[in-house]
Structure 1
Amino acid sequence: MPDTPKTILAFDFGLRQIGVAVGNIVLGTSQPLPILLAKDGQPQWEQVAAILEEWQPDTVLVGDPLNMDGTVSELSQRARKFGNRVSGRFGLPVSMVDERLSSFEAKQQLQEHGHAGNYKDQPADSVAAELILQTWLSERGA
């Protein structure tokens, strides 16, 4: 199983902030990481490089925010561009993962655990990234 990725990094793309999560297939673990701030969808690429260097992922996932009917949205096009940039800059395989409702689910999970609903101070983006990662893992039976 040498071609099976072991460490996965997931991004929940956004215009102002990008959620990040890491997972390990061998251990069956995942965890949200601190969000990355972005300006009109552009992160500070040195921060992305630092995360990639720290976690050494075998593959990268980017949430694909499709419309509810499955069509490509404007944000989806931008998320795909982000994924292409990650792949091009860092030479890593990038997969897009359907993330419809991941932010909604992340907020629901946080509220169930006592989150007060102030998502500006305590964003849900990295929890959404973790849900994207978990979706990808479950689709592969991991």
Structure 2
Amino acid sequence: MNQPKVQGTLLGFDYGLRRIGVAVGQTVTQTANPLTILPADNGKADWEQIADLIREWRPAALVVGIPAHADGSDNELSPRARRFARQLQGRFGKPVYSVDEHLSSHAAASTGERRPGEAIDDLAAARILEDWLKQ
């Protein structure tokens, strides 16, 4: 799938039931960096914290990782991640794109940037965003 012609800063999200990882990236460099990990209450986002990030970074678009099984089929979290993506678009009026993220957490854990047991959601968000940028 070809990505739309979006230019500038992007925010990427690794949606989860307990945490939502956030990364910031640039279309020019096609790179992303971990930004923060936001708490989630059974998948419910802290919309004020997300609004603060959007005000601060003024992204041209948002990218949400959609979890899937290895064969590409939906898993139990897929519908909730899609709903989160729709809510982002509805609340902030920014273009929202999605990307398959079924191996992002595994890839983030294998970087060695965090000690075992430390949250890696922001690293996973950076991987999601970079994967989308390189499509």
Question: What's the TM-score, normalizing by structure 2?
Answer: 0.92
Q: Which amino acid aligns with 1:26?
A: V
1:68 to 67, 70, 75: 70
Distance 2:70 2:44 in 1: 25
Corresponding residue of 2:117: 118
Corresponding residue of 2:132: 136
Cα RMSD (Å): 1.2
Number of residues of Structure 1 aligned to a counterpart in Structure 2: 131
2:101 to 88, 91, 99: 99
Gaps of 5+ in 2: none
| Larger CA Rg, structure 1 vs 2 | 1
Which secondary structure does the structure 2 equivalent of 1:22 belong to? strand
Q: Report sequence identity in percent.
A: 46
- Listed one character per residue, the Cα deviations across residues 2-34 of structure 1 (whole Å, up to 9, x for unaligned) are x53211100000000000000011244421111
Which secondary structure does the structure 2 equivalent of 1:74 belong to? coil
1:13 to 6, 12, 15: 15
Which secondary structure does the structure 2 equivalent of 1:73 belong to? coil
Bigger helix fraction: 1
Between 24-33 and 99-108, the greater mean CA deviation after superposition? 24-33
Question: What's the TM-score, normalizing by structure 1?
Answer: 0.87
* Structure 1 ranges of 4+ moved more than 4 A: none
Q: Which amino acid aligns with 1:104?
A: H
Gaps of 5+ in 1: none
Distance 1:16 1:68 in 2: 22
Distance 2:60 2:34 in 1: 17
Distance 2:67 2:29 in 1: 28
